[in-house]
A and B are shown apart, each in its own frame.
Chain A
Amino acid sequence: MYAFTYHRPATARQAAGLLAKKEDAKLLAGGHTLLPTMKQRLASPTHLVDLGGCADLRGIERKGRNVVIGAMTTHAEVADSAVVREAIPSLAYLASHIGDPHVRHRGTIGGSVANNDPAADYPAALMALGATIVTNKRKLTAEEFFTGLYETALEEGEIVVRISFPLVSKAGYAKFRNPASRYALVGVFVAKRGSEVSVAVTGAGEGGVFRWPEAEAALKARFAAKSLDGIKHTAKGINADMHADAEYRAHLIGVMAREAVARATGK
């Protein structure tokens, strides 16, 4: 690691002040992406602003027809939350399958979405559930927020404050885990709200998380795993690496989508 100056603000507002004042400052959340990157010297911020002391960025709340989760809430807290388990059980399930127990005790939802790793789990949930990302400056839909591989709409000095998930009638998540890293080789989140259906795919896209319109149309006609029989995702634009080629990943999209629908329909 290269040397940096460490700051530990007590509120999101103080953190924003530090980001604005300090040259080349970076936020630290759970550190489970950033610290390994800094150890490899792939990131070398001059100032590190640790959000760990910002109590206003933590916590889970049911607000009317939404579940609102603070950016610094850990994966374990989401997985174990009675509120999330009751309102959006598929989201608790997703959080409980990120990495391993130790990673879940430190890694945060805000860090995960800000990082937008193409194999991360949360982006699929935010996209399919139609979540709103609230920053210290504005509100963004998931579609506006996730802009590409490790890229988001976040501007310099912008902090993810909380994420608001509207309740849906049915939802399910299925991922084929990379057996070594536990990240998604392919993960599919499906959600049904009224007559609207969304299907979001992570782990597979060359440009990160994306929606699958053909599957959405088929599920809109009838929300059952069987509706996806015979529908295949193309291998065009799909990631290929040492773990899986594009054809295999494209095939897994269909398999995971059917499993996610089966979970959503309790079958």
Chain B
Amino acid sequence: MATVSLTVNGKAVTANVDPRTLLVQLLRENLRLTGTHVGCDTSQCGACVVHLDGKAVKSCTTLALSVDGATVTTIEGLAVNGVLHPMQEAFREHHGLQCGYCTPGMIMAAVDMVSRRGHSLDEATIRDDLDGNICRCTGYHNIVKAIAAGAEAMGKAATPTRKAAE
């Protein structure tokens, strides 16, 4: 066993883990943050995407011990005082989901996309940048619409993008 300390959704946490523990296991099993999903466990689907020091990563392909000292944001960390993050709100509004399994990863990828590419995202950019996120239900159409709208809404929201993402 080894100790890992990090900041998750603004809170300092410390856990004692087997070195084999993946970041997604630390989040789900130790911290009970089950919003982050495991779809494939083979690095393909993006259901497990979280932000590591502000950047989207696949938490099924990251060791918990590797992120010692880092800052992690999960889907649970986006809403503020019960008010949905503009990107979450856009997914609700535009019905960017069906079963919802891919949704946490989609939304974390979408917020990362906005911090890399800004608030005005065209369809081609969004589809290209969703390379690492697979959805078995929607056919992507409403996800793309939701991301475009969410990106714009994030621009209008008072909080700067990075701040909201972290």
**Chain B residues, CB < 8 A from A6:** 2, 19, 63, 65
Query: Complex: how many Å from CA A254 to CA B65?
Result: 45
Knowing A1-B20, A4-B20, A39-B42 are in contact, say whether A103-B132 is a contact too (CB < 8 A). yes
- Contact, CB under 8 Å: B63 / A4: no
Knowing A76-B55, A101-B116, A102-B109 are in contact, say whether A8-B132 is a contact too (CB < 8 A). no
Closest to A51 in B: B66
Closest to B61 in A: A35
Shortest distance from the beta carbon of B134 to any chain A beta carbon, whole Å = 10
Decide yes or no whether A105 CB sits under 8 A from chain B. Answer: yes
- Contact, CB under 8 Å: B19 / A3: yes
Knowing A31-B66, A35-B61 are in contact, say whether A5-B19 is a contact too (CB < 8 A). yes
Query: Complex: how many Å from CA A35 to CA B42?
Result: 9
Report which residue of A5, A6, A50, A52 has the largest number of chain B beta carbons within 10 angstroms of its beta carbon: A6
Shortest distance from the beta carbon of A81 to any chain B beta carbon, whole Å = 14
Q: Which of A1-36 contact B (CB under 8 A)?
A: 1, 3-6, 8, 28, 31-32, 35-36
Overall SS of chain B's interface: mixed
Knowing A5-B19, A101-B131, A103-B132 are in contact, say whether A36-B58 is a contact too (CB < 8 A). no
Of A1, A50, A99, A100, which is within 8 A of B65 by CB? A50
Closest to A2 in B: B20
Knowing A1-B20, A101-B129 are in contact, say whether A39-B41 is a contact too (CB < 8 A). yes
Knowing A8-B68, A35-B63, A36-B42 are in contact, say whether A3-B18 is a contact too (CB < 8 A). yes
**Chain B residues, CB < 8 A from A35:** 22, 43, 61-63
Closest to A6 in B: B19
Decide yes or no whether B154 CB sits under 8 A from chain A. Answer: no
**Chain A residues, CB < 8 A from B131:** 99-101, 182
**Chain B residues, CB < 8 A from A39:** 41-42
Query: Complex: how many Å from CA A100 to CA B56?
Result: 10
Decide yes or no whether A48 CB sits under 8 A from chain B. Answer: yes
Of B18, B42, B58, which is within 8 A of A102 by CB? B58
Of B18, B66, B116, which is within 8 A of A50 by CB? B66
User: Nearest 5 A-B pairs (CB), nearest first?
Assistant: A100-B132, A100-B131, A6-B19, A105-B55, A102-B132
